[in-house]
Chains A and B, each alone.
Chain A
Amino acid sequence: MATTRSQRTTRPSYASSAIALLAAVCAAGLTTTHPVQRTLVAIEALGVFVVLLSAVGRQRGHRLGGLSLLLAGGGVVGLALGLSTVFPAGLVERGALVSGMLGPVVLLLGLYPVRETLTRHFTGVGIALLVGAIVIRGWLQGIGQLQLLAAVALTLLAWDLAEQAVTLGRDVGRGARTVIVSLTHTAGSLLVGLFGVAVAAGIYGVPPSTLPLAALALLLAGTLVLGLALYLGHLEQAQNPVERL
């Protein structure tokens, strides 16, 4: 009894998981171009949250209610996914939609979790699917610039909160209240995302220069290398953790 309970409590925490899934679903919604696609994502979102609710119910001892919610939510998600594979006309368009819609579902598999040891793999794959959808949409130029930026920000937010859910689960388990902590963390990450979107939109608003794309890419590469150098210096302390008595 004691061991099963302790195993259960190291699972990803609910509050952060819910916010992560919300961010992922929103990102998926932002990568759509047609109202029908948006409806499909909304149906999927409903299913995803019903499944998460079933996890809450099962933990609180409502086995039957939890199971029925799980089945209902799973059915709704399956329906939305099935429709997404048949609805759009073009193969690439269809790929973008399916990839975007699979992202939150795989994330859910990680956070539910289907298997605790695979949580991080699932979240990684879920986020990668969302990135794939974003890249295809950016290539197709089907969505607006701001929409694309917001989708990127939300995808990263989903990743961050999924990680937060995992670490919270390891540290305090599912029994503890984590809403305040999750919201504080979300607020910080959301602000950074908004800042990034604002900066990118600002750069986009600058009148087109004669600078070729390659030069711009080099500039970005330079920034990236600088950032990496700083980051690695930051990480050095991880190899030699500071210990204070």
Chain B
Amino acid sequence: MTTIERTQRWRTAFVFVLVTSAAGVYLERPALLLSSAVALAYAAYPLVTPTPTVDLALSRTVTEETPAHGESVTVTVTATNTGTRTLPDLRLVDGVPTYLTVTDGTPRHTAALRPGASTTFEYAVDAKSGTHRFEPATAVVYDVSGGTRIRTEVEAGRDPEAEMERERETETETRGERETESGTGATDRLDCAVAVETLPTRRQTRRQTGRTAVDASGTGIEFYQTRAHQPGDPSNRIDWRRFARTGELTTVEFRAERLRTVVLCVDARASARRRKRPGEPDAVAYSIAAATELLRALLVAGERVGVAVVGDEFEWLAPDRGGHHRAEASQLLRTHREGSSGREERPGSTPKSASQSQSQSESGSQSETHSERIQQLLVRSQGAADVLLLSPLLDDFGVTATERLEAHGHPVTVLSPDVTTTETLGGELARVERRNRVRSLRERRVPVCDWTPGDPVDWQRATKNRPGTTGQRSEVGEDLLGVAEGRQEAAEGQSSDERGWS
């Protein structure tokens, strides 16, 4: 939207004219009276200056579109005057994403642009986990007299070269891979993906064929075990080499691959929207960033993934697979990134630190609605489903939810972004409370990844780092590791077998 307004800057010139002419007449000094002609010329100045038309093209490039957490990214912005009039006084403020702070240079720039001329400026931001969208740049143009002010917003990406490049890319790439790309051409966001090193341990699968190897025999391609032949076993499963050697009939079994359903449950309640310090992303933003990456990883692994967002309302996307589902799920997550009050909650305005979270003061009705939400989750994820709960664990919601879900037979894995701080006393209290919750969850043998944003998400390492809890978790860990090692050995065994058969 463009607004044009008069600044009334030269109103002063009229006062000047009145003062000098009055003094000239009163004191009978023609020279003084005449000097008001100069002021009169200034008073007429804004009346004769034409109002410029703002026609700007903006292109924005970054040194790294997918930076790591904490990495410094240089943003280069080029503005071109595509209109026919000179812009004598252009002031540009680039739309830096909400959660990113400028570390070097300034996103504010001024220039005087002739038609066709362009100006470039750059600044550096520190990347933080999550997807950060650039907002349109704000352009303020004054006419040469300063009497007219035009304010408008300029979207980036009308750069013709970038446009061409995009078209070329679109031709070569398939639609499915590009679904997450927006159509503006130039950079309109920074994707600071959360590194996921290990996926949470699988604990329950459906009795349907999928791609997740489980500790059971069935139809598959990987060797699992041999057992004594039973009447009715298919003849092509009989180990004929062994029969030739020993005269015993044995049956070879393969590892079953089953379908797994995971529900990503994001805690996006207002009480979870805490941040370490003003200007930083809050816990929900981090959870969403991690959930987006986990969603991608799980879908790539061929799982069925559902999404549940426990916020002001309970939102649910039934488990499914495929590109469309992924787009839908990403969209659902993205809408919750900044919450309903995200816009107003600019850094500095309402800084809620982790210490302000009051775990015990939740009213009865609130906890009631939360348990209702968990109930809804239980009802909707009927059948076997792993639940991956992403919560900062700043109140008892995460623990209660886990208890209920586990009680109903849904194995829960927890990913908890740590937004507590030791800078204040309250922050330290929140940190201790959170640590206790993590411990109590681990005592219930719930795998918890105590995730410091910026580090990779890794359930195994997170537990290894804490010697006190290794014993509790080792069973699950070993379980997984055991299976993995078993798989490897089995695979080697099978390949040697295959060699033998040929």
Contact B21 A200 (CB under 8 A): no
Specify which of B6, B44, B278 is in contact with A2 (CB 8 Å cutoff).
B278
Q: Does B36 contact A (CB under 8 A)?
A: yes
Separation of A200 and B36 alpha carbons in the complex (Å) = 8
Q: Are A199 and B30 in contact (CB under 8 A)?
A: no
Least CB distance, A92 to chain B, in whole angstroms: 12
Chain B interface: which of A41-49, A79-87, A109-117, A147-155? A147-155
Looking across the interface, which residue of chain B has its beta carbon closest to that of A184? B112
Q: Which chain A residues in 182-205 approach chain B with CB under 8 Å?
A: 184-185, 188-189, 192-193, 195-197, 199-200, 203-204
Minimum CB–CB distance from B353 to chain A (whole Å) comes to: 15
B115–chain A nearest beta-carbon distance, Å? 15
Other-chain contact of B41, A131, A171, A193, A230 (Cβ < 8 Å): A193
Over the window 40-51 of chain B, the binary record of Cβ atoms lying under 8 Å from chain A Cβ atoms (1 yes, 0 no) is 111111110100
Neighbouring A residues of B42 by C-beta, 8 Å? 156, 160, 189, 192-193, 196
Are B108 and A173 neighbours in the complex by a CB distance under 8 Å? yes
Given known A-B contacts A163-B9, A180-B110, A192-B45, A148 and B33 have beta carbons under 8 A apart: no
Q: Are A176 and B25 in contact (CB under 8 A)?
A: no
Cβ A224 vs Cβ B6 within 8 A? no
Chain A residues with Cβ under 8 A from B32's Cβ? 135, 138-139, 148
* A153→B142 CA distance, assembly (Å): 21
Determine the chain A residues whose CB is within 8 A of the CB of B1 once the complex forms: 243-245
A181 to B141, CA, bound (A): 11
Nearest chain B residue, comparing its CB with the CB of A217: B25
B147-186 Cβ-contact flags toward A at 8 Å (1 or 0): 1010000000000000000000000000000000000000
Knowing A141-B29, A196-B37, A200-B35, the reply to whether A167 touches B12 (Cβ < 8 A) is: no
Check A148 against B35 for contact (C-beta < 8 Å).
yes
Q: How far is the CA of A188 from the CA of B64 in the complex (A)?
A: 42
Contact B34 A172 (CB under 8 A): no
- 1/0 contact trace for A193-224 toward B, CB 8 Å? 10111011001100000000110110011011
A2 with B279: CB separation less than 8 A: yes
Q: Which of B85-93, B249-257, B315-323, B324-332 contacts A (4 or more CB under 8 A)?
A: B85-93
In angstroms, Cα B40 to Cα A1, docked, is 46
List 5 tightest A-B contacts by C-beta distance, closest first: A196-B41, A196-B38, A138-B32, A238-B6, A172-B108
- What are 23 pairs between A and B in contact, CB < 8 Å? A131-B19, A135-B20, A135-B32, A138-B23, A138-B24, A148-B31, A163-B9, A171-B93, A172-B93, A175-B106, A177-B109, A181-B89, A181-B110, A184-B89, A192-B41, A193-B38, A195-B41, A196-B37, A196-B39, A217-B33, A227-B14, A231-B47, A234-B6
A37 within 8 A of B: no
Kindly state whether residue B378 has any CB partner on chain A within 8 Å: no
B467 cross-chain contacts in A, Cβ below 8 A: none
- Neighbouring B residues of A243 by C-beta, 8 Å: 1-3
Q: Which residues of B contact A245 (CB under 8 A)?
A: 1-2
Residues of chain A within 8 A (CB-CB) of B8 are: 235, 238
Known A180-B110, A227-B43, A235-B6; contact A164-B146, beta-carbon cutoff 8 A: yes
Task: Name B412-430 residues within 8 Å CB distance of A.
Answer: none
* B38 / chain A contacts, CB cutoff of 8 Å: 149, 152-153, 156, 193, 196-197, 199-200
Q: Are A242 and B41 in contact (CB under 8 A)?
A: no
Please give 7 more A-B residue pairs, beta carbons under 8 A apart, in addition to A155-B16, A181-B88: A153-B38, A167-B146, A181-B90, A181-B112, A196-B40, A241-B3, A245-B2
Q: Which residue of A lies closest to B348 (CB)?
A: A3
Count of chain A residues with a beta carbon within 8 Å of a chain B beta carbon? 66
Contacts of A200 in B (CB 8 A): 34-35, 37-38
User: B13 at the A/B interface (Cβ < 8 Å)?
Assistant: yes
The answer to whether residues A203 and B34 also contact, given A188-B145, A237-B6 and a CB cut-off of 8 A, is yes
> Which A residues between 98 and 146 are near B, CB-CB below 8 angstroms?
127, 131, 134-135, 138-139, 141, 145
Q: With A196-B37, A213-B25 known to touch, is A188 a contact of B31 (CB < 8 Å)?
A: no
- CB pair A224–B41 under 8 Å, yes or no, is no
| B462 CB-CB contact with A under 8 Å | no
A168 contacts the other chain (Cβ, under 8 Å)? yes
Chain B residues whose C-beta falls within 8 Å of the C-beta of A199 in the assembled complex: 37-38, 41
Task: A164 to B9: give the CA distance in the assembly, Å.
Answer: 9
Bound-complex Cα distance A156 to B39 (A): 7
Bound: A196/B31 CA distance, A: 14
B29 — which chain A residues lie within 8 A by C-beta? 138-139, 141
B101, CB-defined interface residue at 8 Å: yes
For residue A45, give the distance in angstroms from its CB to the closest CB of chain B.
23
* Contact indicator A237/B140 (Cβ below 8 Å): no
Check B31 against A224 for contact (C-beta < 8 Å): no
- Interface pair B110/A227, CB less than 8 Å apart: no
Question: CA–CA, A159 to B14, complex, Å?
Answer: 13
Determine the residue in chain A with the shortest Cβ distance to B45: A192
Contact assessment for A213 and B110 in the assembled complex, using a CB-CB cutoff below 8 Å: no
Contact residues in B for A189 (Cβ distance below 8 Å): 42, 45, 145
CB-defined contacts of B89 to chain A, threshold 8 Å: 181, 184-185
Contact mask for chain B residues 219-261; partner A; CB cutoff 8 A; 1 contact, 0 none: 0000000000000000000000000000000000000000000
How distant is the Cα of A228 from the Cα of B40 in the complex, in angstroms? 10
Complex Cα distance A196/B44, Å? Answer: 10
Is the C-beta of B17 less than 8 angstroms from some C-beta in chain A?
yes
